[in-house]
Amino acid sequence: MVIADTPLSDMLRLLADPTRLRILALLEREELSVGELTKAVGMAQSRVSNHLRILREAEILAERHVGASTYLRLDGRCLEHTPLQRLWLALRGELAGLAEHSADLVRLESVLAERRTRNGDFFDRVAGQWEKIAGQFESGQARLRAVSHLLPAGLVLADLGCGTGYMGEALLGLCDRLICVDRSEKMLEEAQRRLCRAPRQTEVEFRKGELNSLPIADGAADGALAGMVLHHLQEPGTAVAEMFRILRPGGAAAVLELDPHREAWMRAGLGDRHLGLEASDVLAAFRRSGFGDVALDPLADRFQPTRPDGSVASLSLYIVRGRRPRALSIEPTHRS
């Protein structure tokens, strides 16, 4: 029967039976197999089947077949904007006061708990394959965008000695503005190529300049990063002082560096001026510059460049971080 054309008397007859109402209420809440529904209403299957036959004839149930089981639910779309829907909504409200309905809901919970035990938790079963099943997004920006809302608005970050933009790439989407600085025009071009598809909320700027006199105004950045670059500099301490200068009070700085090593080929091979830097020297430079919360973060990761003879070096790394102290706030004195 097409619900919209069904005579009112038939609709009233359909809803006239309290057991049918209880069944409908359960199937509106949950999709259930016939066996599960029988358990939830606590009746013989023959009685439940009888009611289901009438509801099926009214074409208000959606059915799904899985193996030998048929799963049923109340198909809300069939009822939409029909007098039957209005009748059902009025009667459903009355069901709340019915002791049988409350007992149905208690039984329904144990039916669903049994189902969970039988099948195991859905996500427990698929966890190992989840990345393959549902890990695909067109650009991945949706997740990054959600993450960015946890960070302060208007964030300006600086990637100093950005090279090809490897570290800058990790910051895209997380800040409003990313300022990439490097002395090499060609490296900046490579970085531009890598970062050209920045998500809309991150404006990326490329500035040619020296780390010991950064082309960034005082207090203009919320965060400054110098990754694998201080060992290229004659005076690493001057660059740390420059990092301090460009940060606003409360802004954070991080330096990723190599521990001292003996890979002398890296001078000519990778343009290194120092064969790593003592962490204690970098920590001291941070403190001298005025940074607070200065700390060493040792890393398990290692830098593994290939030597000219084809063998691979394995060099230890560390991070030194600090924060530009906030300006002292002077509490107003209360006069009585």
Of residues 186 and 200, the one with the C-beta less far from ligand SAM: 186
Interface pattern 31-50 for ligand SAM (x via CB under 6 A): --------------------
For ligand SAM, which residue of 25, 187, 204, 279 counts as binding (CB under 6 A)?
A: 187
- Within 10 angstroms of residue 45's Cβ, the number of other Cβ atoms is 13
List the beta bridge partners of residue 221.
247
Least distance from ligand SAM to the Cβ atom of residue 228, Å: 4
Of residues 249-288, which lie at the interface with ligand SAM (CB under 6 A)? none
Token look-up 């067109």 returns 138
Contact string 149-168 vs ligand SAM (x = CB under 6 A)? ------------xxx--xx-
Q: Taking CB under 6 A as the rule, does residue 210 contact ligand SAM?
A: yes
Which of 163, 251 has the CB closer to ligand SAM? 163
Measured distance CA(16)–CA(51) in Å, rounded: 12
Which residue bears the tokens 């200068």?
245
Candidates 100-108, 145-153, 228-236, 303-311: pick the segment binding ligand SAM (CB under 6 A): 228-236
Minimum Å gap between C-beta 183 and ligand SAM is 4
Nearer to ligand SAM, 119 or 213 (CB): 213
Return the range that interacts with ligand SAM (CB under 6 A); candidates 46-54, 57-65, 182-190, 297-305.
182-190
Which residues of the shown chain bind ligand SAM in the complex (CB under 6 A)?
161-163, 166-167, 182-184, 187, 210-211, 227-229, 232-233
